[in-house]
Chain A
Amino acid sequence: DQQVKQNSPSLSVQEGRISILNCDYTNSMFDYFLWYKKYPAEGPTFLISISSIKDKNEDGRFTVFLNKSAKHLSLHIVPSQPGDSAVYFCAAPRDSGYALNFGKGTSLLVTP
């Protein structure tokens, strides 16, 4: 049973516009969420995270919003740049230990 879900496999956005990537989760015990960016044939790189005690975390062009009542989080990228084109994974630590549950990812394409 997948506890972290990314229901949009792909997203295309024009350069300079906002990219919004969505993530839903089912486990209300999750208390921390992470976003990773992945290029083909490379490992994921950590992008930004948010604790469940917050509803927003911002780092430069990247902002993550958390709506606990809806069990939903989103990653906003403003302004989008061609170099942002990659697969973005949403993740949450498991109940025990620190291994992560990942969504299936959303492939973002930023066009010039």
Chain B
Amino acid sequence: EADIYQTPRYLVIGTGKKITLECSQTMGHDKMYWYQQDPGMELHLIHYSYGVNSTEKGDLSSESTVSRIRTEHFPLTLESARPSHTSQYLCAVSLNTEAFFGQGTRLTVV
């Protein structure tokens, strides 16, 4: 099982600020993902990566960007936060079909 760390756990930030949500894993798996989830809704894939220097957008249109410079690190950045970005952001890692999730970041933009 992968150890996945997300920071911060909670973030309240003002509109227009730039933020980076951190995601790190210690198992060396190539496949990493960012999902976005709101209460009562499914998890929506917003970004994924199958290895270093590989990033793709998911199904849900997102104004965020990601990078994958190192295998263990997959940060997500919002250049200018808006209230519509308020959500829970979940980072995941998979080796095969099972995905393992971090504890998530609950983002609130005021």
Contacts and interface: CB of A to CB of B under 8 A. Distances in A.
Contacts, number: 62
B23 to A, nearest CB: 11
A2 B97 CA distance: 19
B99 interface: yes
Contact of B97 (A43, A93, A102): A93
B31 interface: yes
B48 A104 contact: no
Interface residues of B, number: 30
A51 to B, nearest CB: 9
A99 B45 contact: yes
Interface in B1-46: 4, 6, 9-10, 31, 33, 35, 40-43, 45
Nearest to B91: A43
Give the interface SS of chain B, mostly helix, strand, loop or mixed: strand
Interface residues on A, range: 20 to 34
A101 B98 CA distance: 12
B103 interface: yes
A75 interface: no
Contacts of A100: 43, 45, 99
Contacts of B97: 32, 34, 49, 93, 98
A41 interface: yes
B31 A97 contact: yes
A78 B94 CA distance: 29
Interface of A: 2, 4, 9, 32, 34, 36, 41-46, 49, 89, 93, 97-105
Shortest 6 CB-CB contacts between residues of A and residues of B: A43-B101, A102-B42, A102-B43, A43-B104, A104-B42, A98-B94
